[in-house]
Amino acid sequence: MSAQHNAPIVRPPAEGARWKRLISLDNRYVAPIFITCILIAGHLSFGILESYRKTGLAIIASILTELLLGRLFFGKWPNLASAYITGISVGILVRSPAFWPYVLCSVISITSKYVLRVKGRHIWNPSNFGISVLLFLAADTVASLSIQWGNYLWPMLVIWVLGSVIIWRLRRFHISGIYVVSFVAFAFLRSWIIGSPWQSEIAPITGPMYQLFVFFMITDPKTTVRSKLGQCVVVFLVASLEMVMRLDQVIYAPFYALFIVGPTAMLIEIWLDSRRAKLASARA
Amino acid sequence: MTFGRPAKVLLTIIFIGLLAIPIVIQRISARRAAEDVNLDRKSALARYGFRFEEVSHAAGVNFVHQAPTFDHRLDPIMPEVASMGASVSIVDYDRDGWPDIYVTNSAIGSKNALYRNMGDGTFKDVAEELGIADVNQPGTGVSTGAVWGDYDNDGYEDLLLIKWGKPELFHNDQGHGFTRVSEQAGLPAWLNASTALWFDYDGDGLLDLFIGGYYSEDVDLWHLQTTRIMPESFEYAKNGGRKYLFHNLGNGKFEEVSGKLGINSKRWALASSAADLRGSGHPDLFVANDYGVSELYFNDGKQFREVGEQTGVGFAPKSGMNVAFGDILNDGRYSVYVSNISEEGVLIQGNNLWVPKEGTSGDKLQYENLARDFGVELGGWSFGAQFGDLNNDGALDLYLTNGYISLDRNRSYWYDFSKVAGGNSSIISDAKNWPAFEGRSLSGYQSKRVWLNDGAGKFINVAQAVGVTDTYDGRAVALVDLWNRGVLDVVVANQKGPLLIYKNDVSPANQWIEFDLEGTASNRSAIGAQVTLFWKGHQQVQEVSGGSGFASQNERRLHFGLGRDPQVEKAVIRWPSGKVQTIDKPAAGQILKIKEPL
C-alpha cells in the first residue's frame, strides 16, 4: 500500500473547530504566557521590577543553563518553557540589590534538575530549590518578594481568577484549591493558638508571593506525585508543615515547607513505583 | 543521557561549588567588616585622619528623648506608631558666632531643649527661659522636627516646629526670646508631619516653607475616630498626609499654594530637602516617602513639576527616610542619598545613592542608583544621613544613623511585620489587624555607619574604628563645627535615647575653609546660596540648606575640607538672587563671613 492509501483521511476542519484551534494554546505555553502577563501587568501598573536588568539576567541565565545542560546530557535542545518560568520566577521572587544572586539562583535552580535526580525524575521544583537555598545561605544579600503590587484588591482578584481558570484548564486546580483552603483553615487555627488577629494570619496569602507559589510552584507537573489523591495529600502536608513553621515564626515558611515535603513525597512515590515494578516482575 | 557518569560527577562537583558561592561571599564580607574595628585614637588618626569622641555628658548635655503614648487602641503597636519624633537642628539663635543645638521631645508634657553653646566646650539649656521648651502640651500634639530660617529677614533665625499635632512658628526676638506667631502666619490647626524645610522657591528674597505630611492630617493620634490610619500598602500607599507649600507674603503671613503650584501628593513623606539640581537658579524639591516612591519636583520659580519617574528616582518603591545632597565626586553636581530598610534575610531594599547620569543635565537630568557600587547601600534600618568632609581630605564622607525599635534583644517582630506588610490593603491599613509587639525588637541595636569617601567612587565604613560605637535607635543627624575648629562634629538625636555629641578630632595636616553667608537681596539666612570651591584641580559645590537628612538641619555655615597643602584658586558664590560673586585665592584655615554684595 502506498503511503497515500495508508494516510488518514483528512477532512477540512469545521468552522468552529478551526476557530477553537486558533485560540487554543499548547498547554506547555499556558503557564509561561500567564506568568509573563502577571509580570507585565504588575510592572506596568505598579512597577514591580526594580530593574529590568536583574529580571533579564535571571531569565537569560536560566535559559542558557537549560540549553547547555539539556544539550550535553540529553543530546537535544530542550523545550525552554520550564526554564523561562524558572527564570521569571527568580526574577520576581528574589529581591536583592546585587546582580549575582539572580544569576546564581537561576543557574542553581536549573542545574538542580540535572543533578538531583532519582530514577530519571528530578525531585525538587527548580525555582523552589534555588530560592530556598539562596534565602538560607545568602540571607545577608537576598530576601524574597513579600510585598508589592499595591496590596490592592482588584489586581489580586484578577490574578486569582485568571490563575484559577488557567490552572483549571491544566487540570491542577485541586492542588491550588486544597492548598488555599488548608492555608486559610490553618490561619484561623494559628490565630486561635497565638491570639493574633486572624486578619494578620490570612494576610500573607493575599500578597503576590503566594500567587506565584500557589499557581506555579506547588502545581509543577514534574515535581508533584502522579495520583490526584496523592497530590491532594501532599499539598495538604505542605500547608501543614508551613503552619508548624509559621508557629516558629519562619518568614519563608511556604518555600521551606515545599522544599521538604515535595521531594519526600516524590521519593516515596518513586520507591512505591519501584516496589510495584519488582513485585510485577517477580509475579511474571 | 549522552554523557556518562564522569560528566555527571563533574556536574555534581560544579553544583556543589555553586552552592558554596554564597557562603564564600558571606565569609569574605564578614572578614572585611571585622577588619579595622576599634582602633585606638592614634591609629585611627593615622589611618583615616580623624576620630570621634562622644562628649555629651562632659559638655553638660543630658537630654534623653521621650516617645509619645497615643490612643490606647494603638497599644499593641505603640512602639511602631510612636517610633519617630527625635530631631536635631543647628542654629546660632543669638548670633554670637557659636552654633547652638535645638532638640525635640515627643511625650506629652516633655520639653524640647535649646542648648546654647557657651564657647568653652559646654552647653546650657535655655529653651525654657526663651519660651520654646514647653511645646508638647496636651491637646497640641508633640514635636517631630524643627527647622530654622529668618523668614522676616531681621537677622535672627526663626523656628518652625512640626508635630504630630499643631505646627508652630516662633519668631526670634533678637535672640532674647521667642514669640509664637503660628496663627498670624496662617499655619494649619493640625497636621501630622515629620519633615519640613525653609527655602525660597520663587527667589523673592523671602523664605517659604514646605511641610510634608505623614499620617493624614485628619488623624488625631490621641483620639482616633478609626483604627484605619495605617498605610494602605507597604509600597504604594497614597493615603498619607497632604503636602503644604507656604508662600511667604512678607508681612508675617503665609499663603498655602501647594495645589496651585503642582504639589498634590498624599504619599507618606518622611524627609525632604531642596537644592538647585539643574543649575536653573531655583531650588528643586526632593521628597523621600515611606511606603512608596520618592518624589522629585523640578521648580521653575513659579510652578513645580513632579519628575520622579522621568529622572529615575521615583520608580522603585521603598521606605524613603532621608534626603541629603552631596557633591561626592567633586564634579560640581549633587548626588542624593535616600535611606531605606535592609534587614538580613527579610527585606533588602538597600539605600539609594542617586548619582547624576553622565551626559544628562538640565531638564533632561537623570539619576542612577550607585549605592552598591559606591559601597553605601546596606545600613540596616537606616534613618538620618548627612554628607560632610569628616577628615578634611577634600572628599565628602557620609554619616548614617540607624536602628528602628530596640526592645527585647532576643525576640524579633520581623516575622509579624513581614506577614502583615504583604497583606491586602484592607488588612494592612487597619491598626487593629497588626499583631502586638509584646516587647519585641524590630531592627534594633544596630551599628552605625561612617562611610569614608576615598574620592574615587568608593566609600568604606570606619564607624567602629573611629569611635562611633553606639547602638541607640538613631533618627536625626546634624553636622556642625561646634567649636569653630574647622572640623565637622556630629550631633545625633536618638528615639527614646540620649542626644549624642561626637566631637571630631581631625589630623591637623588636612586643611579646611568655611563660609558663613548672609543674604541682602536674597533671604538673609542665605538658604539656597551655592559656593563652588576650586582648589588643586578639585571643584566642589555646596549649598546652604533649610533642612536636610531626616528631621534635621545642619549648620548653615558651609564647611570644605581641602587636604594637605591646598592652594585655593577661587570660591564662586551664587546667591539665591542670582548674583554671582567670586573670591580669589581665599586663605585656608578660616571662617569667611561674607555678606551678599548690594
ipTM: 0.81
Whether residue B195 is predicted with pLDDT greater than 50 in this model: the reply is: yes
Confidence bin at B292 (pLDDT 50/70/90):
very high
Across the range B542-556, mean pLDDT stands at 98
- Shortest CA distance to B367 belongs to which of B353, B351, B354, B350? B354
Q: Which pLDDT score, from 0 to 100, does residue B1 have?
A: 47
Whether residue A73 is predicted with pLDDT greater than 80 in this model: the reply is: yes
Alpha carbon distance B167, B165 (integer Å): 6
Lowest mean pLDDT among A66-80, A238-252, B249-263: A66-80
Whether residue B492 is predicted with pLDDT greater than 70 in this model: the reply is: yes
Contacts of A233 (CB under 8 A, 6+ apart): none
Q: Which pLDDT score, from 0 to 100, does residue A221 have?
A: 80
Query: How would you list the strands of the sheet with B50-54, edge to edge?
Result: B50-54, B500-506, B489-495, B473-480
The share of chain A scoring above pLDDT 90, in percent, equals 46
| The amino acid at B507 | S
Alpha carbon distance B224, B218 (integer Å): 10
Q: Residues A139-171: pLDDT tens digits?
A: 888 887 655 566 667 777 887 888 898 888 888
Lowest mean pLDDT among A40-44, B16-20, B62-66, B158-162: A40-44
Q: Which pLDDT score, from 0 to 100, does residue A149 have?
A: 60
Whether residue A8 is predicted with pLDDT greater than 60 in this model: the reply is: no
Q: In the structure grid, which three cell numbers stand for residue B489, read together?
A: 562634629
Higher pLDDT: B243 or A43? It is B243
Confidence bin at B38 (pLDDT 50/70/90):
low
Residue B19 contacts A, CB cutoff 8 Å: yes
Alpha carbon distance B191, B429 (integer Å): 19
Q: In the structure grid, which three cell numbers stand for residue B241, read together?
A: 498626609
Give, as one character, the DSSP assignment of residue B456. Answer: S
Sign of the CA dihedral with B163 first, then B166, B167, and B172 last: negative
Q: In the structure grid, which three cell numbers stand for residue B282, read together?
A: 531655583
Q: Which pLDDT score, from 0 to 100, does residue B577 have?
A: 97
Whether residue A15 is predicted with pLDDT greater than 60 in this model: the reply is: no
CB A148 within 8 A of CB A211: no
CB atoms near residue B394 (< 10 Å): 23
- Shortest CA distance to B15 belongs to which of A220, A119, A117, A261? A117
Q: Which pLDDT score, from 0 to 100, does residue B598 have?
A: 87
Chain A residues with CB-CB distance to B26 below 8 A: 137-138, 140-141
Q: Which pLDDT score, from 0 to 100, does residue A7 have?
A: 39
A-B C-beta contacts closer than 8 Å: 167
CB atoms near residue B179 (< 10 Å): 12
Considering only CB atoms, A73 lies closest to which of B1, B233, B433, namely B1
- Taking CA atoms, A55 is separated from A4, A31, A156, B54, in Å, by 51, 18, 22, 45
Chain A residues with CB-CB distance to B8 below 8 A: 73, 115
Q: Which pLDDT score, from 0 to 100, does residue A4 have?
A: 38
Query: Which residue of chain A comes nearest to B369, CA vs CA?
Result: A97
Q: Which pLDDT score, from 0 to 100, does residue B158 have?
A: 98
Contacts of A214 (CB under 8 A, 6+ apart): A163, A176, A179, A180, A205
The share of chain B scoring above pLDDT 90, in percent, equals 88
Q: Regarding beta strands B408-412 and B440-441, do their DSSP bridges make them parallel or antiparallel, or are they unpaired? A: parallel
Considering only CB atoms, A197 lies closest to which of B7, B236, B435, namely B435
Q: Residues B351-363: pLDDT tens digits?
A: 999 999 999 999 9
Confidence bin at B37 (pLDDT 50/70/90):
low
Q: Residues A87-124: pLDDT tens digits?
A: 988 988 888 878 899 999 999 999 999 999 898 888 99
For residue B217, the Cα-to-chain-centroid distance in whole angstroms is 23
Question: Where do runs of H (alpha helix) occur along B49-126?
Answer: 78-81
Lowest mean pLDDT among A251-260, B41-50, B145-154, B432-441: B41-50
Phi, psi at residue A213, to the nearest 5°? -65, -45
Q: Which pLDDT score, from 0 to 100, does residue A162 have?
A: 83
Confidence bin at A49 (pLDDT 50/70/90):
low
CB B191 within 8 A of CB B244: yes
Whether residue B449 is predicted with pLDDT greater than 60 in this model: the reply is: yes
- The model carries a pTM of 0.90
Q: Residues B103-156: pLDDT tens digits?
A: 999 999 999 999 999 999 999 999 999 999 999 999 999 999 999 999 999 999
Chain A residues with CB-CB distance to B15 below 8 A: 108, 111-112, 115
Q: In the structure grid, which three cell numbers stand for residue A39, read together?
A: 509580570
Higher pLDDT: A10 or B232? It is B232
Residue B155 contacts A, CB cutoff 8 Å: no
Q: Residues A222-267: pLDDT tens digits?
A: 888 989 999 999 999 999 999 999 999 998 999 999 999 999 999 9
CB B493 within 8 A of CB B551: yes
Whether residue B171 is predicted with pLDDT greater than 60 in this model: the reply is: yes
Contacts of A9 (CB under 8 A, 6+ apart): none
